[in-house]
Amino acid sequence: MSVTTERRTDIGPPHYEQFLHPVIKKNYGAWKYHEILKPGVLVHVAESGDSIYTVRAASPRLISTEFVRKISALAEKYCDGYLRFTSRNNIEFLLSNKDNIDPLIEELSKFTLVGGTGRGISNVVHTQGWVHCHSAATDASGLVKAVMDELADYFTSMKLPHKVRLAVACCLNMCGAVHASDIAILGVHRTPPRIDHETLPNLCEIPTTVASCPNNAIRPTSIEGKSTVKVDEDKCMYCGNCYTVCPSMPLADPLNDGVSIWVGGKVSNARTEPMFTKLAVPYLPNNPPRWPEVTEAVKKIVEVYAKDARPFERVGEWINRIGWARFFEKTGIEFTKYHLDDFRHAGTTYKRSVQNRY
């Protein structure tokens, strides 16, 4: 028998229908409501009266084929082979038989946590970090592990005022799009790129490199007759744009790279419009493997929110109600000059009234 060697391209992803549970296929577009039966367990009820049960479990996102084979085997055993993933890296097992829920949870509990539903902390959206990225100012998988070990109880329960969405991005490129999360952890560089004038003329296109800087800090220059660039260090805000287009301008600086913490963003339109995250802590040191300063700061924010927010207030809604002055007071986080915006549209963040809490 001959093996076909025809090269297929541009075939696109396979059709999703073949991966849908029969109950889902039958009731597609005809769902009536859903309920959270307990943390990590949902039931969706269709117009037809059919139910599909979902068991949601954590995944570290960075996983092995072994891990996937393990969850596949559980899906075979309890879910007729059907499962899916959420936009927050959770695994969702889809069950038509209610009796399979608890045995599945028992097996899952041997290697992961079941939860991530409702008024708690769901899985963390995050990036690659030192595992796989050239521009990372910190690790992502390790930070997530360290932070979620501290907050695991909020994953497996639903006792917060509202859902809290966490995200980690290991540099300002924000592949994890942390700019709209309740609490965001963002890796930061804090020193200008160190220019390798030897390699730059060969590796980088100078006009592109100059144009890459959002603050016009890069200028063409020549050193010993060779074209290169110089950086006005007073203007550099360490964003790493130049490094993206020019490998000869690395920013990694073990002594100064670290982590910042941001709060109060949301994506959903529920009650209030989507909000950006805002700066809470400008810098904490990189302290692997457990980043104790970061986990402590995040935990503190969660705990103050848990105590102080009203039911169904997201972190940003809570802060908007109590005011930023109270947020810093209650969390004990120091307010510094770094909290004052000095980029584009900075003036829109200045207070222009005398309304204050005394």
Partner 1 sequence: MSDELKTPLLDELEKGPWPSFVSDLKKMAPKKPMVRDLLGQLEKSYRDKRGYWKHGGLVGIMGYGGGVIGRYSALPEEFPGVSHFHTVRVNQPSGWFYTADALNELMDIWDAHGSGLLNMHGSTGDLVFLGTVTDELEPTFRELTARDWDLGGSGSDMRTPSCCVGPARCQNACYDTLALTYDLTHKYQDELHRPMFNYKFKIKMSGCPNDCTAAIARSDLGIIGIWKDDIQVDQAAFAEYLDSGMNVQEYVVEKCPTKCISIEGKEFKIDNSDCVKCMHCINMLPKALRVGKERGAAIVLGGKAPIVEGALFGSMMIPFMKMDDFEELYDLIERIWEFWDEHGKNRERIGEFVERIGLAAFIEGIGLEPIPQMVIQPRDNPYIFYEEYYEEE
Phi, psi (rounded to 5 degrees) for 148: -75, -25
Identify whether the C-beta of residue 294 lies closer than 8 Å to the C-beta of residue 311. Answer: no
Binding mask of the shown chain, residues 152 to 191, with x at each position contacting partner 1 by CB under 8 A = x--x-------------x--xxxxxxxxx-----------
Phi, psi (rounded to 5 degrees) for 168: -130, 130
Q: Can residue 44 be called a binding residue for partner 1 (CB under 8 A)?
A: yes
Contacts with partner 1 in 65-84 (CB under 8 A)? 65-69, 71-73, 75-76, 81-84
Of 223-231, 298-306, 338-346, 348-356, the segment contacting partner 1 by CB under 8 A is: 338-346
15, 337, 352, 357: residue in contact with partner 1 (rule CB under 8 A): 15
Q: Can residue 319 be called a binding residue for partner 1 (CB under 8 A)?
A: no
Whole-Å CA distances, 30 to 44, 55, 177: 10, 21, 32
Q: Can residue 247 be called a binding residue for partner 1 (CB under 8 A)?
A: yes
Residue 61: closest CA among 138, 176, 164: 176
Residue 310: closest CA among 281, 273, 355, 271: 271
22, 26, 32, 222: residue in contact with partner 1 (rule CB under 8 A): 32
Contacts with partner 1 in 254-313 (CB under 8 A)? 254, 257, 265, 267-272, 274, 276, 286, 288-290, 311-312
The nearer residue to partner 1, 112 or 221, going by C-beta atoms, is: 112
Q: Helix or strand or coil: residue 14?
A: coil
- The residue count of the chain comes to 358
User: At residue 61, what is the residue type?
Assistant: R
119, 130, 191, 197: residue in contact with partner 1 (rule CB under 8 A): 130
Neighbours of 352 (CB within 10 A): 7
The nearer residue to partner 1, 234 or 273, going by C-beta atoms, is: 273
1, 10, 99, 356: residue in contact with partner 1 (rule CB under 8 A): 10
Of 59-67, 96-104, 225-233, 332-340, the segment contacting partner 1 by CB under 8 A is: 59-67
The nearer residue to partner 1, 233 or 292, going by C-beta atoms, is: 292
The nearest distance, CB 102 to partner 1, in angstroms, is 20
37, 105, 133, 322: residue in contact with partner 1 (rule CB under 8 A): 133
Residue with the two structure tokens 């060697």: 5
Joined together, the tokens standing for residue 92 give 């969702």
1, 2, 49, 64: residue in contact with partner 1 (rule CB under 8 A): 64
Strands annotated E in 109-244? 166-169, 183-188, 218-223, 226-231
How far is residue 79's CA from residue 28's CA, in Å, rounded to a whole number? 18
